[in-house]
Structure 1
Amino acid sequence: MRLHRNLCFSVIDGLTLIFNEGNYADKVIQQLLKRDKRWGARDRAFVAETTYDIVRWKRLYAEIAEVKEPFDRDNLWRMFAVWATLKGIKLPDWTYFENTPTRKIKGRFDELSKIRKFKESIPDWLDELGEKELGKDIWTKEMAALNEQADVILRVNTLKTTKEKLQAELFDLDIETDYLPDYPNALKLKERANVFTTEAFQNGFFEVQDASSQLVAEFLNVKPGMRVVDTCAGAGGKTLHIASLMENKGQIIAMDIYANKLHELKRRAKRNGAHNIEPRAIESTKVIKKLYDKADRVLIDAPCSGLGVLRRNPDAKWKLQPEFIDKIKVTQQEILQQYSRMVKLGGQLVYATCSVLPSENQQQVDTFLTSEAGKNFIFVKDNKVLAHKSGFDGFYMALLERKA
């Protein structure tokens, strides 16, 4: 591979924004990709994947390059040189790469790869927490899996098409996909491609949604004609899946504390042809109290650490703080206590997170079930999805039923 100066400069500019100014990697990369209209698919892929790669392995590369935060541009070029050397890419004769100690880089990599926090490039506190909660063996495997690049998975919108028809339509555009045996509405891309520019996407035939995330709506046992409340709907990935499972019959109340996310959901619902969704912003507790004892099904896709989705958000490792995890656990329990009251007698509730930590997952459910609000519920089943076993994101979901 030959390195091109303008592409490498873009990566360095992006890393400056992500590491030194705290910008989100996905937003930075979106901006970088608009820089030069002449870039082809390969150029764009280089910028996106290289930036993500260096973000993912920040601690390891910084340690090998012997640089510390905040990184100036020279530091970032040194980290870039480490990335290129470990990828077997020949460094061009540029001033930034003068005196790069290629052999020393490889030696340091071998040495540091024996220590998990460096090998998997994670902060000390997170490494200790993961081992404490999951045990050494599982945490080691899980972190390795969470550092792999995520596959692109589509969820077929059955309101508009079938899996077979969508697969054939994408094949005609040279986008090849595979079925996933245990995921009824999923197609996995054989190679990464920009699916958002396709007519099939614009016509609402599919959404991009990880396979593990697709399990949540299925777990909720919805039926056409029910009244369902999605309490932390966000931009509505799971809401739209619920709508397709309900065949547009019944009512889905999509709630969130962020009204702007619900505007995005409205736009997506229109494209998907999902007509039974009613967005409601949570501006006060009144919105929730009005629905006490009225829902057949309630989904609590709770805010969480997001540790299960590090493959697609590698910068989250560096933004997360232990205090945030402590705070979010309090919020999770408050949400469970309050939102569970919307479930009617005999109705069901799913509590879900995209975390792999038991303290955010089954321990929250156990705490709820022994509380005053939870004593009216029975535990039906749960699903602990670990990335190293599933090959997809880490997730948790528990199904509870309110006693009739």
Structure 2
Amino acid sequence: MRLHRNLVYTTIDSLNAIFNEGEYADKVVARALKKDKRWGSSDRKFVAETIYEVVRWKRLYAEIAEVRAPYNRENIWRMFAVWAVLRGYPIPDWKQLEGTPERKIKGRFDELSKIRTMRESIPDWMDEVGVAELGEEVWTKEIAAQNQPAKVILRVNTLKCTREKLRAILMDLDIHTDTLPDQPDALVLRERANVFMTDAFREGFFEVQDANSQLVAAFLDVKPGMRVVDTCAGAGGKSLHIAALMENKGQLIAMDLYESKLKQLKLRAKRDGAFNIEYRIIDSTKIIKKLHERADRVLIDAPCSGLGVLKRNPDAKWKLQPEFIDNIRAVQADILERYSKIVKPGGKLVYATCSILPSENQEQIEKFLKTESGQEFKFVEDRKILASESGFDGFYMALMERKEN
């Protein structure tokens, strides 16, 4: 086990882009993996996993390395050296790694690991919010779970394929998967693999979607022939699942503020063979008003803090600010108020987030049900899903039914 110079240099360049240039880790990693076509799967795995690990443990590694933001390249090399020592790599005789204090690094790690904000490598404000909303015991377990690397989960596109057929196709490619109880469309990869390069992906046999994210469309209780509105569709992971559950029968309206996201959804829908989707950009209040009381089912996959998906977006720990959470709560309440009017009497509404904070979840529902619009709905059930209990992303979903006139 040794470090290879070209892989490490790519890692350092990538960390510089994330830490100092404000780029998103997933975009930087995707670009890094295209740098050298000669790299094999183990090389690509090293680059991707190392970038994510240093980002995930940035505060801890910076403290051990005794560096402060903004990080120059020497600082990033020192943080990388901490990673290498803690992962058991022999330190090579490179100029950038001269004088790496291996014993001191290990000693500081043992010392700092007794402090939760350092051990879990999170900002102080995030720790305070987590404790305040979830309590000391639950938050301690949850933030530890959020620092575990995310598993790769596939959602079988039932418009084109079956789970058994996809498992067999992937097995022929030496990509082994496991099923999940009570989730008929989910497959969990036993080991990470570049599934996007497979013919099965290009032919639209599956999408990559977290297991708990896959629960949302099923929770909406859609049926073929319905009119369904996904009000915050984004790039359409849940829209595509809804289309599959509708068996391409009926009308699915995918809405978003951003045209660029709906363009991504159109491309994905074409690949998946989902042709019952209409696309509408929310560029005025008229778009919503035209749909008042017209939909059998409405999904509000609300914008949120994303504190339930830190394991797959570790850089969000450093990009997220406390004032954003305050602002997003107001946005969520406004969206619930306005978009709930789309549900027709007898229809159903699901409010969902990828947050674990009660203030973004059940407390929003409680407040909504007391408003004039909310009093037209009855609460049916909700699900509060923690990563520490499920092993997948943290999610919340609430199902409400609009009362008959």
- TM-score of the superposed pair, with normalisation by structure 2: 0.99
How far apart, CA to CA, are the structure 1 residues paired with 2:163 and 2:37?
A: 34
Q: Does 1:159 align with 2:138?
A: no
Runs of 4+ in 1 over 4 A off after TM superposition: none
- Give the Å deviation of 1:236: 0.5
The match for 1:70 is: 70
Gaps of 5+ in 1: none
Percentage identity across aligned positions?
A: 71
The match for 2:324 is: 324
User: Secondary structure at the residue paired with 1:2?
Assistant: coil
The match for 2:369 is: 369
1:103-114 aligned at under 5 Å gives the runs 103-114=103-114
1:196-211 aligned at under 5 Å gives the runs 196-211=196-211
The match for 1:265 is: 265
Deviations 1:38-63 (A, max 9, x none): 11111111111100000000000000
The match for 2:247 is: 247
The match for 2:288 is: 288
The match for 2:338 is: 338
Deviations 1:201-236 (A, max 9, x none): 111110000000000000000011000000000011
User: Secondary structure at the residue paired with 2:238?
Assistant: helix
How far apart, CA to CA, are the structure 2 residues paired with 1:348 and 1:158?
A: 24
The match for 1:383 is: 383
The match for 2:134 is: 134
How far apart, CA to CA, are the structure 1 residues paired with 2:36 and 2:214?
A: 35
User: Secondary structure at the residue paired with 1:184?
Assistant: strand
- Give the Å deviation of 1:182: 2.4
User: Secondary structure at the residue paired with 2:308?
Assistant: helix
User: Secondary structure at the residue paired with 1:80?
Assistant: helix
The match for 2:227 is: 227
Deviations 1:102-154 (A, max 9, x none): 11111111111110000000000000000100000000000000000000000
The match for 2:400 is: 400
- Give the Å deviation of 1:83: 0.2
How far apart, CA to CA, are the structure 1 residues paired with 2:43 and 2:173?
A: 20
The match for 2:304 is: 304
- Give the Å deviation of 1:21: 1.1
How far apart, CA to CA, are the structure 2 residues paired with 1:394 and 1:243?
A: 24
- TM-score of the superposed pair, with normalisation by structure 1: 0.99
- Give the Å deviation of 1:343: 0.2
The match for 1:79 is: 79
Q: Does 1:59 align with 2:50?
A: no
Deviations 1:316-367 (A, max 9, x none): 0000001111111100000000000000001000000000000000000011
The match for 1:15 is: 15
User: Secondary structure at the residue paired with 2:396?
Assistant: strand
1:169-180 aligned at under 5 Å gives the runs 169-180=169-180
- Give the Å deviation of 1:29: 1.1
- Give the Å deviation of 1:395: 0.3
How far apart, CA to CA, are the structure 2 residues paired with 1:237 and 1:31?
A: 22
User: Secondary structure at the residue paired with 2:169?
Assistant: helix
User: Secondary structure at the residue paired with 2:183?
Assistant: coil
How far apart, CA to CA, are the structure 1 residues paired with 2:193 and 2:345?
A: 46
The match for 1:314 is: 314
How far apart, CA to CA, are the structure 2 residues paired with 1:85 and 1:183?
A: 40
User: Secondary structure at the residue paired with 1:186?
Assistant: strand
Aligned length: 404
How far apart, CA to CA, are the structure 2 residues paired with 1:324 and 1:16?
A: 25
- The AA in structure 2 aligned to 1:282 is I
The match for 1:27 is: 27
How far apart, CA to CA, are the structure 2 residues paired with 1:14 and 1:240?
A: 32
